[in-house]
Amino acid sequence: MTTALIAEDEALLAEHLRSELARLWPELKLMGIAPHGAAAVEMALAQRPDVIFLDIRMPGMSGLEVAEAIGEEWPDGVPPPLLVFVTAYDQYALQAFERCAVDYLLKPVQPERLAQTIARLRQSLQQRDAAPQEPAETALAQLRALLASPGLGLPAAAPTRLNVIQAGQGAAIHLVPVGEVIYFEAADKYVRVITAEREHLIRTSLRELLPQLDPERFWQVHRGTVVRCDAIATALRDEAGKVTLTLRSHPDRLTVSRLYAHRFKPM
């Protein structure tokens, strides 16, 4: 039996989608409705549904952030869920969804369009059952492409690169050259700025900071971690395929999520 999860903070829209799915796909088992992003991640990882219908804009975590968290934490050897984004975005954003081969539904959900989505999901599920490993890697590749689409995952590229981090501490402002930063790490409402000598905190989200960094020099290796690539000494892959980074001038070790492990392959 195919299972599904709905992540939608608007109760009326969630109920409408639930009732339409029950009518158009009666053999589908709905495992629950998550009212916000954090609940969607928790329920998805606990229940492991085959399909998740994700609202793009939810309180706390967005649908894209939920997809990223699920992709990072999803257990190895288990086929990842098929993601359908429910969105009110404009045509530019919809083109990004289509280009990345991730299905989407426009609000309010129309029965004819939902029927098309169900047909696509059924076909994808059949392909997944026939060759589970290939769809798993395809899903991760599609998610990486989607997260990199301007206006969806990361904000549009900033016109200039950041050269100095201005980190406040009491009455002082420390000017930290970006080239001295070993890695950035998200911490609640702050970002930790780690250099060889010390740690700073800045009130800027990692998602806001990323477009201002040179992507050739600063690599995202986890949902909450961005590291300067020339500060990496080794990338160690264990028997389970988990990648851990050691650094040249800092004792910390950084975990690489499955979404970004493709960066570390021998030349």
The ranges assigned to domains in the chain are 3-147, 164-263
* pLDDT tier for residue 264 given thresholds of 50, 70 and 90: very high
Answer for the pair 153, 146: CB distance below 8 angstroms, yes or no: yes
Highest mean pLDDT among 138-142, 226-230, 241-245: 226-230
DSSP 40: H
- For the sheet containing 199-202, what is the strand order? 199-202, 190-195, 181-187, 225-228, 218-222
Q: Out of 2.40.50.1020, 3.10.20.30, 3.30.930.10, 3.90.1300.10, which CATH number does the structure's domain 164-263 have? A: 2.40.50.1020
Helices in the chain by DSSP H: which ranges?
Answer: 11-24, 37-47, 63-73, 91-99, 111-130, 133-147, 206-209
Answer for the pair 83, 40: CB distance below 8 angstroms, yes or no: no
Answer for the pair 188, 148: CB distance below 8 angstroms, yes or no: no
pLDDT for res 227: 98
pLDDT digits (tens, 9 = 90+) for 138-170: 667 777 777 777 666 555 555 578 999 999 888
pLDDT digits (tens, 9 = 90+) for 93-132: 676 677 665 688 988 899 999 999 999 999 988 887 776 5
Cα 102 to Cα 26, 67, 86, 124, 223, distances in angstroms: 23, 11, 11, 11, 20
- Residue 90, classed as helix, strand or coil, is coil
Answer for the pair 231, 252: CB distance below 8 angstroms, yes or no: no
Residue 70 has pLDDT above 60, yes or no: yes
pLDDT digits (tens, 9 = 90+) for 11-52: 999 999 999 999 999 999 999 999 999 999 999 999 999 999
Q: Out of 3.40.50.2300, 3.40.50.620, 3.30.1650.10, 1.20.1250.20, which CATH number does the structure's domain 3-147 have? A: 3.40.50.2300
Overall average pLDDT of the 39-66 stretch: 91
- Same topology, domains 3-147 and 164-263? Answer is no
